[in-house]
Amino acid sequence: MLLTDRLHPGILEALAGAGHGARVLLADGHYPASTATGDRARTVHLNLTPGLLDVTTVLDVLLSALPVDSAQVMVPPEGEPEPPAIAEHRTRPAPVPVDTLGRFEFYDAACSPDLAPAIVTADTRTYANLLLTIGVRAEGTLSTR
């Protein structure tokens, strides 16, 4: 499923074992990764220091490495303003649809057994969490040796 070799070894291992329909969690530095991820998910910590590596940076690498069917963002409660990270996530994976989930709905989705890696970043923005669903490689994207 991978389209590039520019990945962290732990992420590469988790993605190599994932297939169509598996999910990838990109978590901000506030996300409760020890309690709100699937039992089979591999957690990869990229949070060396606050703000050093954010969800957007990891997303850009992943978008060049795997096909994405859909994406979901965690949104604040109704009536609260939409944080800038969400607006950014809406445009990044275009034309892939980006749906919204409330906080606890997002946690439930991330706890599903089809979560492959949970990638914890040092993103300090609120509501920067993103859940990707892996798609299928397009015809002609696989070269033979």
pTM, entire model: 0.90
CA distances from 121 to 26, 71, 83, 132 (A): 7, 17, 17, 15
Tokens at residue 131, please?
A: 């859940």
CA distances from 76 to 26, 41, 100, 103, 128 (A): 17, 25, 10, 7, 11
pLDDT in tens, 36-73: 998 989 999 999 899 889 999 999 989 888 899 999 99
pLDDT in tens, 124-133: 999 999 999 9
